[in-house]
Amino acid sequence: MVRKTVIFIFLISFWNCNSTLAYGFDKAAAFFDEIKSATAKNRELWGIDIYGPVLLVVPETRAVIANVAASSESLKQKGQIFTGRLPEDIGIANTCVNWEGKNWAMIILPLPEKKSERINLLTHELFHCSQARLGFTAHNPSNTHLDEKEGRIFLRMELEALKKAIASNALPERKGHLTSAFTFRKYRQSMFENAKKEENFLELNEGLAEYTGVIMSARSNSEMQEHLTSRISDITSNPSFVRSFAYETTPAYGYLLSGINKNWQTDISRNENLTEYFQKAFQIQPITLENNLLVEQTNRYNGAVIYEEENLRDEKIKRLKREYTNKFVKGSHLKISLENMKISFDPRNLIPLGQYGIVYPNLRITDTWGILTVENGALLSASWDKVSITKPTKVTSKQALGDGWTLEITDGYFIKQDRENNYILLPQ
């Protein structure tokens, strides 16, 4: 059985190495203090203080700045902070990672300049480090239906209605928009098998983490509304919604519900269906969309533009999927079995490829066989037991290279060509 550690990379930015180091060392202690203060002030949110070990990482050099010591001597104390270097087998990401016997909230430097954004980012990851003791299980749903044209259309409709609900000050108007949002959600989830279950898993995982960050960010009410509506507007430019939608939906619904029940999040468990919970809390009964009513509802929320944009996107995606199928399935390719992997990737740009799995344009996998870094696409099987990349153009005992990928090979493994002109990584 493959042992999998899933790491999500989101909103990565890079600085010049020297400026990043100066920025980090100069400000790190103050950043740690502001996060510690924010979690302490918001202890009632989850009933515990989620503050814990934090790693700030310089991606170019893997240099780290920490708020606490490591179990070994890998981090050296410098005043109030601890410094060292992250091992090569650990993926760099905004995530929670287990290292040196501790769960660390890992954040890529530079941090956002705005205090509210810094707190939002770090407390999101601190939630992930605390979610097991809060009783929430980490899930890895595919949500591939959200890359289908109809799935995207009615998610965008829901988001448009949700954005109007946030901007509404009159309660009847707000409830009307929320009714539309849940109506579009119900209609979308009825079209795809397992959609309700898979969407809920991601909202319980990434959605609750982002809600934690949003609430602990100490934004004013007007700042909160502006933040949530602008994020919803921005998500429409994401190449894919399959792993990114929950960052917007749960915080938005949760923020609106917090005006009615400040502690709603303490009522839910890992088995909760958030859609049903929110509907009941808001006292909303979704409408059944049929014929003229469907047209009327979509017209209220920019439906004509959304349909046109998604029709154009669907044509492009179909062409891209054919290209990816030829590249990773029908064409000559290298197949690598996953044994004990850790994977990091960007959740905004994934391309589902049906029965074959999902294409990840950028990813990094560490496993017993080595380290795979991909910048031009890789196909991860639906069962998460193998990854396929284009055929190698250069192979040595220590390294293989291909179109947009590099494989550092551990001693004891080698690449072999099979009778079908494909390649496989095998143990000796």
Q: Looking at residue 295, what is its pLDDT?
A: 85
What digits encode the pLDDT tens for the residues 173-196?
999 999 999 999 999 999 999 999
112 in the same domain as 207: no
Tell me the pLDDT band of 24, cut-offs 50, 70 and 90.
low
| Mean pLDDT, range 128-143, rounded to an integer | 92
pTM value > 0.95 = no
342 and 204, same structural domain? no
Structural domain includes residue 377: yes
191 domain residue, yes or no: yes
Q: Is residue 316 part of a domain?
A: no
Same domain, 118 and 16: yes
Give the pLDDT mean for 147-166: 97
Q: Are both 352 and 420 inside the same structural domain?
A: yes
- Are 104 and 202 in the same domain? no
Instruction: For residue range 315-353, list pLDDT tens digits in order.
Output: 999 999 999 999 999 999 999 999 999 898 887 889 999
Tell whether 210 is covered by a domain.
Answer: yes
Establish if 136 belongs to a structural domain.
Answer: no
> Do residues 80 and 149 both lie within one domain?
no
Give the pLDDT confidence of 271-325 residue by residue, as tens digits: 999 999 999 999 999 998 876 788 889 999 999 999 999 999 999 999 999 999 9
Which of 146-160, 285-299, 357-371 shows the lowest mean pLDDT across its residues? 285-299
Q: Are residues 44 and 126 in the same domain?
A: yes
Rounded CA Rg of the chain: 23
**Is residue 354 in a domain?**
yes
Among residues 70, 102, 130, the one where a domain terminates is: 130
Question: Of residues 428 and 9, which shows the higher confidence score?
Answer: 428
186 and 251 assigned to the same domain: yes
User: Taking the alpha carbons of 32, 37, 38, 43 in that order, is the dihedral positive or negative?
Assistant: positive
Rounded distance, CA 212 to CA 390, Å? 40
pLDDT given at position 18 = 40
Residues 235-264: pLDDT tens digits? 988 889 999 999 999 999 999 999 999 999
Sheet holding 423-427, edge to edge: 351-352, 358-360, 378-380, 386-390, 333-337, 423-427, 413-417
Overall average pLDDT of the 62-88 stretch: 94
Full residue range of the structural domain in which residue 245 is found: 144-301
Residues above pLDDT 70, as percent of the chain: 94
Tell whether 273 and 335 lie within a shared domain.
no
Residue 138 lies in a domain: no
pLDDT of residue 19: 39
Residue that is last in its domain, among 301, 332, 364: 301
User: Per-residue pLDDT for 2 more than 60?
Assistant: no
Shared domain check, 394 and 251: no
Confidence of residue 412 (pLDDT cuts 50, 70, 90): very high
The more confidently predicted of residues 233 and 24 is 233
CA torsion angle 348 351 357 359 (round to 10):
-80
Is there a domain that residue 315 lies in? Answer: no
- Could you say which of 268, 301, 334 is where a domain stops? 301
Mean pLDDT of the chain: 92
Mark whether 148 and 248 lie in a shared domain.
yes
Residue 82 has pLDDT above 90, yes or no: yes
Residue 213 has pLDDT above 90, yes or no: yes
Local confidence band at 377 (pLDDT 50, 70, 90 cut-offs): very high
The number of C-alpha atoms within 13 Å of 332 and in the hemisphere containing its C-beta is 13
- Residues 122 and 149 occupy one common structural domain: no
Q: Can you give the pLDDT at residue 5?
A: 47
Domain count, the chain: 3
